[in-house]
């Protein structure tokens, strides 16, 4: 059974950097699962992706999967994987008109898959419950589902870190 490490924090808190440092400390045989579905019109997001790509060693294997991670996980031949980020992944599913039950089932399949492999999995997500209540119904629905997804992953994770201002705090 593989180890699951879950890393949460706010936007620009240092989550991805911490995840990447844990991966680098663990092995040179790392796979990176990017969950963002590219949008050709969002130049600012393209720059964020470019920044993330440059921060990773070029010998890491990169997989881009925005909707169905679980089947991919059983076919990755690495000692460590980084999944960045579950919040974007949840957003992808919600915007693809998946119900909360379908999203939770998808996440349960990911967790089940990770418990059936030998590698270390480092999962990154945004902590969405510390901000203001979103103004729109879709925003509130997203926040609620993302919070439940985070709870499900944290429950099954071997360790959980909260990142604030670049400083990791181990909470499990």
Q: Do residues 146 and 87 lie in contact, with contact meaning Cβ atoms separated by under 8 Å?
A: yes
**Which tokens belong to 11?**
């936007």
Instruction: Cis check for the bond before 85: say yes or no (omega within 30 of 0).
Output: yes
What is d(CA 158, CA 11) in angstroms, rounded to the nearest whole number?
23
DSSP annotation of 157: -
Pick from 87, 61, 58: which is nearest to 75 by CA? 61
Q: Would you tell me how many other CB atoms lie within 10 Å of the CB of residue 41? A: 6
Backbone angles phi, psi at 22, to 5 degrees: -65, -40
Catalytic residue chosen out of the listed positions 46, 52, 98, 148:
52
Question: Strands 167-170 and 159-164, how do they pair?
Answer: antiparallel
What is d(CA 22, CA 20) in angstroms, rounded to the nearest whole number?
5
Annotated catalytic residue 52 = yes
Q: Which residues are catalytic?
A: 52
């Amino acid at each position: 059974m593989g180890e699951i490490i879950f890393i949460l924090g706010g936007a620009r808190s240092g989550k991805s950097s911490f995840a990447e440092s844990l991966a680098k400390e663990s092995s040179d045989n790392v796979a990176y699962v990017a969950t963002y579905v590219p949008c050709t019109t969002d130049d600012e997001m393209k720059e964020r992706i470019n920044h993330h790509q440059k921060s990773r060693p070029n010998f890491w294997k990169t997989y881009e999967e925005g909707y169905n991670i679980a089947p991919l996980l059983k076919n990755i031949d690495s000692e460590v994987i980084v999944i960045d980020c579950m919040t974007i992944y949840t957003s992808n599913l919600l915007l693809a008109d998946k119900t909360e039950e379908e999203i939770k089932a998808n996440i349960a399949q990911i967790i089940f898959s990770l418990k059936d492999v030998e590698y270390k999995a480092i999962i990154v997500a945004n902590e969405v419950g510390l901000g203001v209540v979103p103004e729109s119904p879709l925003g509130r629905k997203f926040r609620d589902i993302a919070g439940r997804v985070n709870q499900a992953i944290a429950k099954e994770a071997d360790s959980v870190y909260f990142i604030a201002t670049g400083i990791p705090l181990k909470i499990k």
